[in-house]
Structure 1
Amino acid sequence: MSAVSAAKPTYPGVYVEELPSSTRTISTLTTSVTAFVGHTRRGPLNEPVRVTSFTEFERRFGGLSAQSAVGYAVHQFFGNGGTVAVIVRVAKAGSGQAACTTLESTEGHSECDVLKVHAKEPGVWGNGLRVAVDYDTPCPDETFNLRVHDAKGEARESFTGLSADPSNGRYVQTVVNAGSRLIRVEVVGEGRPDPSGTVSKPFGHELPDLAVDLTVKIGDVEREFTLHDPDCDGEAPSSVAELALLLERKLRALPDAPGKHAFAGAEVTAFGRRVQVIAGSTDPEDVVRFLGECANDLGLEASVNPPVFPLEGGEDGEAPGPRDLIGSEADKSGIQALRGVADVNLLVLPELAAYEKAEDAVTVVSAAQRLCQERRIFLLVDAPSTWVSVDTARAGLAAFDAVRGNHAGLYFPHLQLTDPLTGRLRSFPPSGAVAGVIARTDSERGVWKAPAGTEARLAGVHSLTVNLTDRETGLLNPLGVNVLRTFPVTGPVVWGARTLEGSDALDSEWKYVPVRRLALHVEESLQRGLQWVVFEPNDENLWQQIRLSASSYLHTLFRQGAFKGGTPREAYFVKCDRDTTTDEDIENGIVNVLVGIAPVRPAEFVIVKIQQMSGQFAL
């Protein structure tokens, strides 16, 4: 609360002043924002993009693809309760090409290339884009409009009043590249690109005799009509705009070829003293041509182009290899692109499960864990697809001994789901669905609740690739493998909550996923919530404010059930005083805060003892 100037007492009574609060609160941060890194159909390369639904993922990254494990993982994430995802598209270095087309100009000089239009990102998806140009602007002799259509002919983006002059505020390269999600342009010559369709020569102030017979050909279809019949059409047009309306009506009345809409959807636009005629389709072959001497007399063929200019040559990039996924910290590529992203809590790399060599997957996991330790992220590791039984899992687990860290959890086996693209049952890595379960558990119970048990149901899962028994689960759980099980009534569930360091033989204090994730959450919240401390006077007053802020935050978690213990003293402590910060620390500009928490550990083993009673019951 902001302070007001002290009131000067002038009469007997009560005076009220507002004083600023000395308490600085520490906000609770997100816990389940999940990053997915790998191959997608489209999208910016090595650029983190936040999405909040699978619909948004489809729009930005092209949706499901048989070659994209990431697309299916994101679909399963949102289907199981996930709410926010960060997508990083990665492709094999040097692969992939953006679709493009080159627009020409014949205006006032010889024919030359003036504008290259590229799809915004590499991929075959760009081959479905079409661009159209017209001069229907307030300055039809100087500026132009550029419209982007998809393969279905639907307009997706429109940029109006563009100029080919770099000094103009509507310079095409600046406006389009800053505002388009679909294309980028490059000016390669002087002049405006020619308009789409057929454009006439400029008409004089008085229109010529329009009572003429014309022949028009669109594609392979040729039709004849009378432009103006006084008996049927009334008075002749007196302006170019009226001429455009008449010509459009005449063209639309002509019969189309079967299944075509070229004549029926024709558009005629007047700009300045000229008209532009565009076929009612996005087929580049549907060029409008006016034939015969009468058409020449009217000047209906000053410029002839297709209705749209198609982009071509787009190629999908190859699936990324281990080096591509690991990326470069200098270039911020691969998983290293996440270094500049705040509030990422989980990391999913679903493509690793398909690697033929276990050492390749381990190499990526090792690099990913280093990133997770630095950024306080938890990694979800899929079991390799070659683990098709308990025996193969136990034999293959030795490959992960080198990366048994506490910032990752390993999940086995794979899921069997119906593929939305084919309608057939197929197997998928579980990490995307597990990330959704974790997000749902965090939302309903809290980050301290183990994302496992009968509440951790896997939505949309038909079955599992390996059906585990209690005995088989008992062989894998002590090794730090989080198994997925199927139970009657409940269905498929997550049935493990250990980190990769959670093997019984390692006896780690970070054995359990919820304990590790709770600690990461507390560390990140305190680190951000105490930023205000920097450059404050390092004295007892500051230490007291730190203790108050940190204790208030931890007490909120205690009341929500994050810690064990019946009292706050048993659940947590915050120490910041002369014992933690010495005179030497003060001289070096250091303040030390010691925080301890008692996290709640999950009940993995519930033992029920039954004793048989003998004798008679007294009634």
Structure 2
Amino acid sequence: MHMGHPGVYIEELPSSVRTISAVTTSVTAFVGHTRRGPLNQPVRITSFADFERRFGGLTAQSAVSYAVHQFFGNGGTVAVVVRVAAAGTGEEARVTLESTEGHNACPVMTVHAKEPGVWGSRLRLAVDHDTRHPDETFNLRVLDTDGSTRETFTGLSMDPDHGRHVETVVNAGSALVRVDVVGEGRPDPSGTVSKPFAEELPNLAVDLTVKIGDVEREFTLHDPDRDGEPPRTVTELALLLERKLRALPDAPGKRAFAGAEVTAFGRRLQVVAGSTDPDDTVRFIGECANDLGLEATVNPPVFPLSGGVDGDPPGPRDVIGDEAAKTGLQALRDVDDVNLLSLPELAAYESTEDMITVISAAQALCRERRIFLLVDAPGSWVDVDSARAGLNAFDPVRDDHAALYFPQVQLTDPLTGRLRSFPPSGAIAGVCARTDAERGVWKAPAGTEARLAGVHSLSVRLTDRENALLGPLGVNCLRALPVVGPVVWGARTLRGADALGSEWKYVPVRRLALHVEESLYRGLQWVVFEPNNEQLWQQIRLDASAWLNTLFRQGAFKGTTPREAYFVKCDKDTTTDADIERGVVNVLVGIAPAKPAEFVVVKIQQMAGQFEI
């Protein structure tokens, strides 16, 4: 700064405090079977509409689909879905397009649905040559069975050196299909394509016979008395022919001609029935049609994909997946922000041993990635006695990174309108997200505020006495309370049984610790390769304390002062000379979380013997 005269000068200096940002707390991963979607790839979604687009929506065979629906219905905002199918099952729908340009018909391009499943057999392809270079390039449209256009790719070329090479453009831009070029030449257009018309159009005052499907009609192409001047260009001819076709009477109960479409490209016409039924092929019959060149290439109005097969529901090994291939649960290793994990299919396993095997693998991943697992009680637990008897099977997975919820929730199935039981983990994850947003991760996702939205009832109606039997064993009960309705009425981890005496007894304490760990882990990345000295240690203490003080003021910790709520120690006592030589800096952080008030004792004393003075 140049100071040229006496006065007050202001200079802005960068702050020495590096802000630690709080990470997410309620992004929930769902792993299991869905109708469609990429296999073993984590996909982030922000609404159930997203799930419908990417994974096909609700289906009776997918517990995950209902869990995601309940998650968003109870306040969830972000989910990560991993579609898993049994190994070696499932096939993609496909169709091979042919070319007749200059030679006999030969296959030139195979189009595959991008993901396995029956859903791909609903796709239809429409091809036309209505481009700037109609003799070289083509357009490709991907349609649904209702005729709606899903994707459009224009100006495609079969030349690998072309800037719009079909494989490059479609495979990079389509969410529905992928393309393999298998021959030379471009695919024929869909529908009926005329031969090229000469510069001067022929006499159009002729009678034509057209057949679409099994409906046949005869009409006059151009009537001078009714239609006025004859068309002078191929485009005008296309408009006239389309108008004439649409005016033809349909057969009873069948609209064969009403949707007819005629397009001009170059000197040719392309005629389609405007239908996604491959049988609705437009055919012009007779000598006049031949004279006009309308008996040329005849193809279906669309090319349907077929052969799609859904994958079988995944078994325990498929859900666990392979760490090297990153399949199943292991696909979540590539995702940074996942805080909760739901595996709703496990509740339907007939073998408790299989269920425990998957839970064990999931817990290993959760410990490594700082994720909290929401465990659904087995569907075979139909009352309190069966729950208490089956609880011993969970002894090998009594982990503080997981919580068990019982019983199942009953909702009206949107697909059938009937009441059905569902594993509760999807709804529980939504309650966690809602509680985190409204109160904070340190608030137990339980109590009268933790109402289960959309839940009609519970598969087992628990009394206070029955709740008192299960709660001390580490089972979080769902209760139906008067006036309030179905709620979550427990907040213990699987290590929360009274007999275990774990310091990680409560869900909010464990989740708060995971939140603090992950936030500090990310917020202190700048420390790497900094000089390991007292200056660095002081900066670490300043940054971490500032962030922890923010949590303290929000009510995350107990105590009336910061000293009682947390501490950060990073000095020569935690980081010795030997540590410095090894390039290590040790930071010791302590927090005093506020634990839930599980038992509220109200003492009422009657006042007697009062007298007035």
Tell me, yes or no, whether TM beats 0.5.
yes
> Using the alignment, how far apart are the partners of 1:257 and 1:540 within structure 2?
90
What amino acid is the match of 1:203? Answer: F
For normalisation by structure 2, the TM-score amounts to 0.99
Alignment of 1:221-236 (within 5 A): 221-236=215-230
Tell me the percent identity: 80
Cα contact 1:127–1:313 (8 A) shared by 2: yes
1:591 aligns with 2:590: no
1:608 aligns with 2:589: no
Match for residue 332 of structure 1? 326
1:247 aligns with 2:241: yes
> Using the alignment, how far apart are the partners of 2:270 and 2:608 within structure 1?
101
Alignment of 1:186-201 (within 5 A): 186-201=180-195
Match for residue 76 of structure 1? 70
Match for residue 302 of structure 1? 296
- How many angstroms does 1:260 deviate by? 2.9
> Using the alignment, how far apart are the partners of 1:465 and 1:238 within structure 2?
74
Please, which runs of 5 or more residues in structure 1 have no aligned partner?
1-6
1:570 aligns with 2:564: yes
Please, which runs of 5 or more residues in structure 2 have no aligned partner?
none
What amino acid is the match of 1:543? Answer: W
> How many residues of Structure 1 are paired with residues of Structure 2 in the alignment?
613
Of 132, 150, 175 in structure 2, the residue corresponding to residue 181 of structure 1 is: 175
Alignment of 1:435-584 (within 5 A): 435-584=429-578
Cα contact 2:215–2:256 (8 A) shared by 1: no
Of 5, 23, 26 in structure 2, the residue corresponding to residue 11 of structure 1 is: 5
Match for residue 390 of structure 2? 396
1:276 aligns with 2:270: yes
Match for residue 155 of structure 2? 161
> Using the alignment, how far apart are the partners of 2:363 and 2:354 within structure 1?
14
- How many angstroms does 1:108 deviate by? 1.1
What amino acid is the match of 1:12? Answer: P
- How many angstroms does 1:11 deviate by? 1.5
When structure 1 is superposed on structure 2, of 360-369 and 19-28 the one drifting more is 19-28
Match for residue 109 of structure 1? 103
Match for residue 286 of structure 1? 280
Cα contact 1:261–1:280 (8 A) shared by 2: no
> Using the alignment, how far apart are the partners of 2:607 and 2:241 within structure 1?
101
> Using the alignment, how far apart are the partners of 1:434 and 1:304 within structure 2?
57
What amino acid is the match of 2:323? Answer: E
> Using the alignment, how far apart are the partners of 1:618 and 1:45 within structure 2?
81
Question: Could you say what secondary structure the match of 1:238 adopts?
Answer: coil
- How many angstroms does 1:613 deviate by? 3.3
Match for residue 140 of structure 2? 146
Alignment of 1:376-455 (within 5 A): 376-455=370-449
Match for residue 3 of structure 1? none
What amino acid is the match of 2:160? Answer: P
Cα contact 1:91–1:317 (8 A) shared by 2: yes
Match for residue 266 of structure 1? 260
> Using the alignment, how far apart are the partners of 1:269 and 1:133 within structure 2?
12
> Using the alignment, how far apart are the partners of 1:261 and 1:275 within structure 2?
22
> Using the alignment, how far apart are the partners of 2:250 and 2:302 within structure 1?
19
Question: Could you say what secondary structure the match of 1:505 adopts?
Answer: helix
Match for residue 371 of structure 1? 365
When structure 1 is superposed on structure 2, of 520-529 and 208-217 the one drifting more is 208-217
- How many angstroms does 1:281 deviate by? 1.2
> Using the alignment, how far apart are the partners of 1:446 and 1:290 within structure 2?
70
Match for residue 25 of structure 1? 19
- How many angstroms does 1:616 deviate by? 2.2
Q: Deviations over 1:22-59 (max 9, x none)?
A: 11010011100000000001111111111111111111
- How many angstroms does 1:21 deviate by? 1.3
What amino acid is the match of 2:329? Answer: I
Cα contact 1:118–1:183 (8 A) shared by 2: yes
Q: Deviations over 1:399-456 (max 9, x none)?
A: 1100000000000000111100000001000000000001000000000000001111
> Using the alignment, how far apart are the partners of 1:392 and 1:11 within structure 2?
88
Question: Could you say what secondary structure the match of 1:391 adopts?
Answer: helix
Alignment of 1:55-70 (within 5 A): 55-70=49-64
> Using the alignment, how far apart are the partners of 2:569 and 2:418 within structure 1?
59
- How many angstroms does 1:344 deviate by? 0.4
What amino acid is the match of 1:583? Answer: D
> Using the alignment, how far apart are the partners of 1:617 and 1:560 within structure 2?
47
> Using the alignment, how far apart are the partners of 1:557 and 1:262 within structure 2?
68
> Using the alignment, how far apart are the partners of 1:410 and 1:285 within structure 2?
55
Cα contact 1:261–1:281 (8 A) shared by 2: no
Question: Could you say what secondary structure the match of 2:21 adopts?
Answer: coil
Match for residue 136 of structure 1? 130
> Using the alignment, how far apart are the partners of 2:429 and 2:520 within structure 1?
24
What amino acid is the match of 2:245? Answer: L
> Using the alignment, how far apart are the partners of 1:281 and 1:577 within structure 2?
76
What amino acid is the match of 1:122? Answer: P
Q: Deviations over 1:365-421 (max 9, x none)?
A: 000000000000000000000000111001101111000000000000001111000
What amino acid is the match of 1:168? Answer: H
Question: Could you say what secondary structure the match of 2:552 adopts?
Answer: helix
> Using the alignment, how far apart are the partners of 1:237 and 1:54 within structure 2?
52
Cα contact 2:127–2:139 (8 A) shared by 1: yes
Q: Deviations over 1:458-492 (max 9, x none)?
A: 01111111111111111111110000011100111
- How many angstroms does 1:522 deviate by? 0.1
> Using the alignment, how far apart are the partners of 2:305 and 2:252 within structure 1?
27
> Using the alignment, how far apart are the partners of 1:12 and 1:71 within structure 2?
72
- How many angstroms does 1:509 deviate by? 0.4
1:96 aligns with 2:114: no
Match for residue 206 of structure 1? 200
> Using the alignment, how far apart are the partners of 1:469 and 1:264 within structure 2?
65
What amino acid is the match of 2:478? Answer: L
> Using the alignment, how far apart are the partners of 2:97 and 2:599 within structure 1?
70
> Using the alignment, how far apart are the partners of 1:618 and 1:164 within structure 2?
104
- How many angstroms does 1:301 deviate by? 2.0
When structure 1 is superposed on structure 2, of 254-263 and 369-378 the one drifting more is 254-263
1:311 aligns with 2:305: yes
- How many angstroms does 1:10 deviate by? 2.3
Question: Could you say what secondary structure the match of 2:499 adopts?
Answer: coil
> Using the alignment, how far apart are the partners of 1:22 and 1:161 within structure 2?
55
1:349 aligns with 2:349: no
Match for residue 220 of structure 1? 214
> Using the alignment, how far apart are the partners of 1:258 and 1:537 within structure 2?
86
- How many angstroms does 1:257 deviate by? 2.0
> Using the alignment, how far apart are the partners of 2:75 and 2:611 within structure 1?
51
Q: Residue 617 and residue 452 in structure 1: after superposition, are their counterparts in 2 closer, same or farther (change >3 A)? A: farther
> Using the alignment, how far apart are the partners of 1:432 and 1:59 within structure 2?
19
When structure 1 is superposed on structure 2, of 603-612 and 161-170 the one drifting more is 603-612
Superposition CA RMSD, Å: 0.8
